[in-house]
Chains A and B, each alone.
Chain A
């Protein structure tokens, strides 16, 4: 039974996601305020263009189903821990940046990413994770005069 449905499911997953997204956008667009006719004049209400785009997307999603029937999508080879771990590091980056410091967050993510991707020399990963944000920070601070968000280290640096 599973073997029967698996190809069908594979055909419909991506078009289904695209169709669901399009319908969601149409629903949100229908909630948008209407502008008074004297402002809009002969042009379109703000909601019309996004709805038109999503209708085109629904048509394209159906064409995609036909295309997948002719040339079934390749079976996805699941990526290793390096990829999903890197995405998890993106998620970890957010709270460390907001609650601790952006440079510390970059250093932590860099260090963890080096090790996750197979770097065995901890001292090399550590040196890279410390040196890179430091160099880039001073480059942006001195040469480009960019102020970074307040955090543990930047509070101490900026005073």
Chain B
């Protein structure tokens, strides 16, 4: 609970840096690579920033979706 409030203890990216790397990070994840291990600063930021985490989750969901399901 408090850990969620005070955020990651590891060094992390900024929101802007997270945006720059988001597409590469998500493609790594979906390719089955250990993206969090390769990009630990990104992982730390996604733990600490709910808005960037939402964007990450949405991009993952989009790329996993069947193209036929896109409105």
| A and B bind | no
Residues in A lying within 8 Å of B, measured CB to CB: none
